[in-house]
Amino acid sequence: MNTSQPRGILKAALSTFRFFAGVVIVADAAARPFYRPLVDRVARMRAIKAMEAFVAGLPRAAILVLFAVPFLVAEPLKVLALIMIAAGAVVPGLLLLLVSYLATFLIVERIYHAGREKLRSYGWFDWAMTQAEAVRDSLKSAGREAVASMWRAVGRTFDK
């Protein structure tokens, strides 16, 4: 049996995952200036603060369910929206992307914020969040370096 074939499949799967993770992170970074003020305003609302206090008082398993259900709905919708946009359905894709981002940041983020310590007390959850943060940070760093490189190239063009 050829042992390089499973490694090749694993490498391709990991590359595919990284690509899609990168697309979602780049889309998030591009949309953040537009939705962040809304999220911050919602987070300051009395009703939201009361909901966060309620969530924080729940057992960690209940917080996990409250977090997982909207997350498992909203995150795949972001990828679907990007596929729709790439396929030419730009307006419906953008609307779906907007709705999924609003769901993520008006529901999922608030639940995570309220129950973060309890959620991260699950070893596997903490590990997954640490990995996601590392991927996000490395992609942000690579993006910043790409932009800086582009500006250096543009600067050299104008210096000639």
Residue 5: the pLDDT is: 75
Q: Which of 80 and 158 is assigned the larger pLDDT?
A: 80
Half-sphere exposure for 93 (CA within 13 Å, toward CB): 13
Residue 67: the pLDDT is: 92
Region 130-135 average pLDDT = 89
CB 39 within 8 A of CB 109: yes
CA distance linking residue 147 with residue 136, whole number of Å: 16
Residue 52: the pLDDT is: 94
Provide the whole-model pTM. Answer: 0.63
Average pLDDT across the chain, whole number: 84
Q: Which of 126 and 37 is assigned the larger pLDDT?
A: 126
- Cβ neighbours for 74, distance < 8 A, ≥ 6 positions apart: 100, 101, 103, 104, 107, 108
pLDDT tens digits, residue range 38-55? 778 888 999 999 999 999
pLDDT > 70? residue 159? no
CA distance linking residue 12 with residue 52, whole number of Å: 40
